[in-house]
Amino acid sequence: MASFGTIQFTGFANNTLPEVETSPLGMRVTIKPNDSGVEACYGTFAFAISVAAVAPGATVLSFVNRNSDILIRPKKIQMAYALGAVGSVVGTVTSLYMIRNVESQYVSGVDTLTANLIPAALRSGKFRSGQISSVDVTAFTGVQPLITGLTAGLSGGSNTQDTFPIAAIVTTVTGVAGTKVPPFALWDTAMGDDIIELQDGSGIVVSTASASANQTASLTIVFDQVDPKLL
Amino acid sequence: MPIQLAGSTVANILEIETATKAARVTIKPIDYGALGVYSLAAATGLIAAGLATAAPIFSWRWGDATRFAALKKVLISAGNNGTAFTAGAITFNIFFARGFTASDSGGTSILPSGNGNKLRTSMGTTLLTDARISNTAALTAGTRTLDANPIGSLTSSIVATAGTPLIAPTPLFQAQAGDYPTVFAQNEGFVIQATVPATGTWTFSAQAQWEELTAYVP
């Protein structure tokens, strides 16, 4: 029987030797979040918003990267719908599209309540306070802008939307007042999955179709901003 | 004497957790190389009542002679909007299709072009040959051979109340990190078939995510 020499290796700062389990002789590992970079404009963020009276085919969210120094990577988009006091039989297709060649982003139309969540609200969505604590607003230029229509859809800007969506979910409800569509993931990036990478001038939009005028939708988006050199 | 493991950047030394003695790792997507990664989704129109058993409603064909497509995920959802179904069972099956000599037809072509459906704009234009989804009726089957048994199946039931969801968003096929994907060579692909009860009208959506590769090494 051949014999082999053994080596051990140790960690960077604490000189700890990694352990190998007795059975099945597997090396212990811990899974860490991917490095997003050391500059203050990088980091991981999340926002939750709600829209009311979703119109048929309305674009309810526009999310664009206008910074050539970073990539923006939407990791998860979760939605839920609720009917109010008046029931309505509806069929809803919620779609996620890529937009490219953005010269001007989606803008508000007749909806005076349309909200641009950038930049003030963005600072509140960071996952670690230290990520952008010392950076002024003008340096935080990744997402330009994150717009949601609060009571109606957005108007398209100058950009090229893909012909077909990258995600489409069908949901239906009965005619019973108070019926809800449970939370569903419009996009969900699991560990090791391929990732949407928004280069400068690229973005995503979320559009919905509905026959009901009294629906409320909630939307949560998680994304990170990363240094392309780290990918 | 123990050694240390350095990365491509020599100054980056692997760290070990002090308490658990576990090495730190980060999980990344597989390198897509010179081609790209794509996600394509679509919804049908209002499909009429009376669909035949095992009717094809989504078809995807890879025709490139030298490159490969690795299917990562097929996510579906469906709802009854309009006329209620007779209460009963519903089934969606996804089949591996081999030996395509003619693509399925009918429905709506959803074949991307240009920058369409890339997950990053700098990726290459998809090499996919055909993709289509039903509009209001079944697709017309092309010339291909389906495997005898599906590679994914979902069965549920529906009550006779209009507006009832058929299938909440669910993976019909999914290769997670470390799983073996479904790898398509020339003239291979997949087909989704549906079996639903009588009388109801409904809408269906599907999302397919795949990677295009010059070679696939397990």
Mark yes or no for CB contact B77/A169 under 8 Å. yes
What is the least distance, in Å, from the CA of A154 to any CA of chain B? 21
Task: Tell me which H or E stretch contains B154.
Answer: strand B152-158
Q: Which has the minimum average pLDDT: A45-59, A182-196, A198-212? A: A45-59
Smallest CA-to-CA distance from B213 within B41, B40, B28, B72 is with B72
pLDDT tens string B107-163: 999 999 999 999 999 999 999 999 999 999 999 999 999 999 999 999 999 999 888
pLDDT band of residue A214 (cuts 50, 70, 90) is low
What's the token pair of residue B194?
A: 């549906």
What is the least distance, in Å, from the CA of A112 to any CA of chain B? 31
Q: Most confidently modeled of A86-90, A176-180, A184-188, B129-133? A: B129-133
Q: Average pLDDT, stretch A49-62? A: 69
Q: Which is more confidently placed, A9 or A41? A: A9
Q: Does residue A230 carry a pLDDT above 90?
A: no
Looking at residue A119, what is its pLDDT?
45
Q: Average pLDDT, stretch A175-185? A: 81
What's the token pair of residue B130?
A: 């055909």
What is the least distance, in Å, from the CA of B72 to any CA of chain A? 9
Q: Which residues in chain B touch residue A191, judged by CB atoms under 8 angstroms apart?
A: 27, 177
Q: Does residue A145 carry a pLDDT above 60?
A: no
pLDDT band of residue A123 (cuts 50, 70, 90) is low
Mark yes or no for CB contact A89/B162 under 8 Å. yes
Looking at residue B159, what is its pLDDT?
92
- Please report how many Cα atoms fall inside a 13 Å half-sphere around the Cα of residue B152, on the Cβ side: 22
Largest CA distance in chain A: 81
Q: Does residue A36 carry a pLDDT above 60?
A: yes
Looking at residue A117, what is its pLDDT?
53
Looking at residue A182, what is its pLDDT?
83
Looking at residue A129, what is its pLDDT?
62
Mark yes or no for CB contact A17/B164 under 8 Å. no
- Please report how many Cα atoms fall inside a 13 Å half-sphere around the Cα of residue A113, on the Cβ side: 10
Evaluate the CA torsion angle B85, B90, B96, B101 in order and state its sign.
negative
Adjacent-strand bridge partners of B190: B60, B96
- Please report how many Cα atoms fall inside a 13 Å half-sphere around the Cα of residue A103, on the Cβ side: 3
Q: Does residue A114 carry a pLDDT above 60?
A: no
Q: Round to whole Å and give the CA distance between A43 and A225.
A: 5
- Residue in chain A closest to B10 (alpha carbons) equals A12
**Strand locations in chain A (E):** 9-10, 29-31, 43-52, 58-65, 71-83, 90-100, 107-108, 115-116, 143-148, 154-155, 160-161, 167-173, 180-188, 203-208, 215-226
Q: Which has the minimum average pLDDT: A42-56, A185-199, A214-228, B48-62? A: A42-56
- Residue in chain B closest to A19 (alpha carbons) equals B21
Looking at residue A111, what is its pLDDT?
36
Looking at residue A231, what is its pLDDT?
65
Kindly state whether B216 is in contact with chain A, defined as any CB-CB distance less than 8 angstroms. Answer: no
pLDDT tens string B1-34: 889 999 888 888 999 998 889 999 988 888 888 9
What is the least distance, in Å, from the CA of B91 to any CA of chain A? 16
Q: Which residues in chain A touch residue B161, judged by CB atoms under 8 angstroms apart?
A: 174
Q: Which residues in chain B touch residue A65, judged by CB atoms under 8 angstroms apart?
A: none
Looking at residue A178, what is its pLDDT?
74
Q: Which is more confidently placed, A179 or B202? A: B202
| Selected residues 163-202 of chain A with any CB under 8 Å from a CB in chain B | 163-175, 179, 182, 184-185, 190-199, 201-202
pLDDT tens string B68-119: 999 999 999 999 988 999 999 999 999 999 999 999 999 999 999 999 999 9
Of A162, A169, A174, the CB nearest to B117: A162
Adjacent-strand bridge partners of A100: A160
Q: Average pLDDT, stretch B47-67? A: 97
Of B25, B75, B164, the CB nearest to A32: B25
Q: Which residues in chain B touch residue A184, judged by CB atoms under 8 angstroms apart?
A: 77, 168-169
Looking at residue A108, what is its pLDDT?
46
What is the least distance, in Å, from the CA of A168 to any CA of chain B? 5
Q: Round to whole Å and give the CA distance between A85 and B107.
A: 37
User: How many interface pairs between A and B have CB atoms less than 8 angstroms apart?
Assistant: 198
Q: Does residue A104 carry a pLDDT above 50?
A: yes
How much is the ipTM here?
0.86
Kindly state whether B22 is in contact with chain A, defined as any CB-CB distance less than 8 angstroms. Answer: yes
Smallest CA-to-CA distance from B122 within A70, A103, A202, A69 is with A202
Burial B93-111 (b: 16+ CB within 10 A, else e): bbbbbeebeebbebbbebb
Backbone angles phi, psi at A225, to 5 degrees: -115, 125
